[in-house]
Structure 1
Amino acid sequence: MTVVSSESGVLHVPAGEGLVKWMSGDVLTFKATKAETNGSLAFMEALVPPGGGPVAHLHPHSDEAFYLIDGALEFLDGERTFIAEPGSFVYIPRNHRHRFKNLEKTDARLVFLFTPAGPEDLFLEGADDPIPGQRPENWTPERFARLTDIVERTGDIMLPEGR
């Protein structure tokens, strides 16, 4: 990740810069992690393809917030769902079951953050490095199963729908 900072401690990640990871079809660009913010927050940009998005889950130690730039996403809020469109802001308090899913035919683009930082370790450690000239593929259940140790360490809890 290209990071520009000053002696004052300011973090500046230029446009088009940041560590990129692929996770089950999603393209994640890290603008700030706990390493750069002393654990205060993590901030990412995401490109979510049609059908993409995480399984329902909760973060017991962090709040999460989203700002939708392009496309539309269906959010799960406990047991209800709603649609977020460009310009929508969504705040998820810790210990609240949620997920988002792209139900459209085009990619959705959003930014999101965790405060305090920590849940981003799942992406940093468990996601794939990009392959130039290709698009990420959706993962199989077996591929997701390789994340169990990281999920346990971050304390996140997966709560799939239909259970």
Structure 2
Amino acid sequence: MSTTIANATTDHPQTVHFLGSLLTFRARAADTGGTFSIVESCSAPGAGAPPHLQADAEAFLVTEGSFEFMLGETWRRCGPGEFVYVAPGVVHAFRNAASTPSRMLIINLPGGPHENFFKAVGEPVNAEPPVFPPMGAPDVAYLTTEAERFGITILPTPHH
């Protein structure tokens, strides 16, 4: 068995802007033999992910601020230190519920599909300082089509 030690400072992690969140790739599928990937998300107030589901598992660890998570039809507000696990096939969404940027770690198991989707649709940016580019209305048809390529199904947004 081989062991790899990756250092984000020297490996120059890539960051992309996607739907009001800055996504910094901290552990890529290529770094973990495809086992998992970790993305650090810094989300603008009100920003997040629309309802979606996928075949991979996803987990979230809030590190700063506050997020609201939708799991099925239930919403749950989470703060620093709180963890949310989403089993494959479960409809879920999230949004920053704070009036300032909020941060969390997003873990995908296995690594690859979400990471590749974010890279395909995200706009490369600098992560520090966290400056959110101006955002227009998203191209829903394009995002939905791209998501399907990576096994992710984007669903209509419910009223909350």
Q: What TM-score, normalized to structure 2?
A: 0.86
Q: Any stretches of 5+ residues in structure 2 without a counterpart?
A: none
Is residue 2:54 matched to residue 1:59? yes
Is residue 2:128 matched to residue 1:130? no
C-alpha displacement of 1:40? 0.9
1:23 partner letter = F
Q: Cα distance 1:95–1:139, how it changes in 2: closer, same or farther (>3 A)?
A: farther
Alignment counterpart, residue 114 of structure 1, candidates 94, 108, 116:
108
Task: Answer whether contact 2:68 2:95 (CA < 8 A) is retained.
Answer: yes
Q: Any stretches of 5+ residues in structure 1 without a counterpart?
A: 1-6
1:99 partner letter = A
Matches within 5 A, 1:1-163: 8-15=2-9, 17-60=12-55, 62-117=56-111, 118-130=113-125, 134-142=131-139, 144-162=140-158
C-alpha displacement of 1:15? 4.7
CA distance in 2, matches of 1:76, 1:135: 24
Q: Secondary structure in 1 aligned to 2:31?
A: helix
CA distance in 2, matches of 1:159, 1:27: 22
May I ask how many residue pairs the two structures share in their alignment? 155
1:154 partner letter = F
Over the aligned positions, Cα root-mean-square deviation in angstroms equals 2.2
C-alpha displacement of 1:54? 0.7
Identical columns (%): 30
Greater mean deviation of Cα atoms: 131-140 or 77-86:
131-140
Q: What TM-score, normalized to structure 1?
A: 0.85
